[in-house]
Amino acid sequence: MPDGPYGDAIRRGSNIFTRTGLHVKDHVGNQLSCDNCHLDAGRRANAAPMWAAYGAYPAFRATTGSVSTLEDRIAACFTYSMNAPGSVSGKAPAPGSQVYRDLVTYMAWLANGAPAGERLRGAGYPRISKPSDGYDLNRGRVVFRQNCAQCHGVDGQGSRDGQGHTTFPPLWGRGSYNWGAGMAQVDMAAAFIKANMPFGRPGSLTDQQAWDVAAYIDSHERPKDPRQNGTVAQAARKDHAGEDSFYGTTLRGHLLGIGVGAGGAVEPG
């Protein structure tokens, strides 16, 4: 890592990336850090690495219907994946904030020498096609108990050390990503899981198991989608149409999407 101000900025960005709640706590409403999903401090191929993201923006995004800058893309992960607290203390950092500058400096350093303007091999989470008979929550629960619960807990809540730092991140409930996150969509979670989980044994699940367990974790209640102003049914039509997600469906007698902390209890696994 270089000395001087450049090195200082890289280190600030790296710290934000790996200890997000500690360094930018006003913009984090859950127990996650960026590197819980972008593994190995944003360096691992097929875990949406930051060296691949850096040169890939500005780019058109179907979710917003417009071109996103890298800053916009990071803001989206703050808003949904980090559940930035909209009504409590802050939302995603404001445009032009130092938080983005530090993160982008870190990404630029990781991307040193990588070509810009194209999608690099290892970018994103490689999509896996949907099995012909779809996915099944009961099978998913079995996959979860056998391959995931030892780290993430039978209740999906993960664990924290004595300082409150996340050792194993929660997969649903109050401390997890919200309903607007990419990871709340079954196809995206299946892609992430296939390439990256169980931690230390990536690629060991079949595609069917990855889809089943992705559906299982994403069939649990989590923080509300911050875009939802009216009813869940309205938000389902406006923001979740065509998605592979459980948003707005009723399972185990519970309307998914109401959100935890707003009368939506975390149901048992």
207 sits near ligand HEC (criterion: CB under 6 A):
no
Smallest Cα–Cα separation from 219: which of 181, 179, 174, 191?
179
Which residue matches tokens 């960005």?
A: 13
Site mask, ligand HEC, residues 128-157, x = CB under 6 A?
Answer: -------------------xx-xxx-----
Q: Give the nearer residue to ligand HEC in terms of CB position, either 65 or 253.
A: 65
169 sits near ligand HEC (criterion: CB under 6 A):
yes
Among 9, 10, 82, 190, binds ligand HEC (CB under 6 A): 82
Distance (Å, whole) CA 197 – CA 193: 5
Distance (Å, whole) CA 207 – CA 193: 9
Q: Give the nearer residue to ligand HEC in terms of CB position, either 230 or 242.
A: 242
Q: Count CB atoms within 10 A of the CB of residue 199.
A: 11
125 sits near ligand HEC (criterion: CB under 6 A):
yes
Among 14, 20, 105, 219, binds ligand HEC (CB under 6 A): 20
Helices 137-147 and 207-217, packing angle to 10 deg: 100
Distance (Å, whole) CA 197 – CA 44: 13
174 sits near ligand HEC (criterion: CB under 6 A):
no
101 sits near ligand HEC (criterion: CB under 6 A):
no
39 sits near ligand HEC (criterion: CB under 6 A):
yes
Q: Give the nearer residue to ligand HEC in terms of CB position, either 253 or 257.
A: 257
Question: Do 180 and 80 contact (CB within 8 A), yes or no?
Answer: yes
Among 9, 128, 195, 217, binds ligand HEC (CB under 6 A): 217
Stretch touching ligand HEC by CB under 6 A, among 3-11, 129-137, 176-184, 243-251: 176-184
Among 10, 12, 14, 53, binds ligand HEC (CB under 6 A): 53
Smallest Cα–Cα separation from 190: which of 170, 172, 213?
213
Distance (Å, whole) CA 224 – CA 257: 6
Partner residues linked to 254 by β-bridges: 251
Smallest Cα–Cα separation from 188: which of 146, 225, 238, 243?
243
Name the residues that contact ligand HEC, by CB under 6 A: 20, 32, 34-39, 48, 52-53, 56, 73-74, 77-78, 81-82, 103, 123-125, 147-148, 150-152, 168-171, 176-177, 181-183, 188-189, 192-193, 197-200, 205, 213, 217
